[in-house]
Each structure stands twice: as C-alpha cells, then as structure tokens.
Amino acid sequence: MPQWFAKITDFDAPVARAALGRGRYGVIETAGGRVVAIHLRPWPKLLSWPEIWPTRGRYHARGDADRCLLYYNQPRGHANFLALKYIVSTAGTSYATFRAALTELDRIAQLKRSDALLCDAANTRLSDRLLARFGWEPHAPARWRRNFIKRFYGVYPA
C-alpha cells in the first residue's frame, strides 16, 4: 500500500515519523482519551456531509461512543502551516478524547516543524474561551467567519 494511505499506530517508530513528516493530509483517530491511529490520506478534506446536507440540530456522528476524528491538511502553497479542517465526534465523546486529538495535532506540527495551526471555528459551540484555553487566538477577523491561529515559530508545547 502506498505511503499516503498509511495507517500509523506505532508513533515513535522511525518509519512512522518519516511518513508523518511527508504526509500532507491526515486523520487523527482518538477513542477513550487516547490516540488510536493516524490515517494518512492522498487528498485533503474539503467538505463534510453536514455542510452539504443539513443535520437538523444533530451534532454527533454515528458510531462507537467516545470517538473523535480530527482532519488536518498541509496546504501546498503554505508548507509551514497545518490547517485543522474538521473534527467529527460521536455521542458521549469525552473531553479527554477531544483533547488527545488536539495534543496529537500539536505533536504532528512539531514533527513537521510547522510555524502555526489554523482553523475556522464554524461551530458556535466552540467558544472563544475554550479555544483560548487550548492556545488558539483570533486571526484575520471576518464578518461571517471565526478564524483562529495557534502560533509556534519553533516553540512547541511540552
């Protein structure tokens, strides 16, 4: 199987670290408060079903309880940045599971030597206060969008 379809479960192996460093698009899968796997993808996450087909107030995906998928992209024109594109959680997802996905994204940013993480917080349930607690700050204010950035510039969280 080509390296861009890799499923990584041994995060400290040199082969896994090299694949994560090369892979531009991926999904971080967490469950039970810990990282289960990172799935590398050959294409970026562009759209989601709720954006195309309204969910009528349903906020969670179907599947096993306490599971979170975090989609990230490394844009071709901006190799020093990672974009948090989308987060999908199932009903009953714990704070620890959500936090594990964000912590792993920080580790991937460190491995790739990224300068910053970027996201568009479209869900109003993500408060500015919660994002600030995770180290994100408002960026590029716009009327209809809530853009946030988490800057590293060589200094990464422990």
Q: Enumerate the domain spans of the chain.
A: 3-151
Residue-wise pLDDT tens digits, 48-72: 555 555 555 555 556 677 999 999 9
Please state the CATH superfamily assignment of the domain spanning residues 3-151 in this structure. Gcn5-related N-acetyltransferase (GNAT) (3.40.630.30)
53-62, 74-83, 121-130: which range is least confident on average?
53-62
Residue-wise pLDDT tens digits, 2-59: 466 788 998 889 999 999 999 999 999 999 999 999 999 888 766 655 555 555 555 5
pTM over 0.75: yes
* Helix orientation angle between 14-22 and 95-111, rounded to the nearest 10 degrees: 80
- When pLDDT is averaged across residues 115-122 and rounded to a whole number, the result is 91
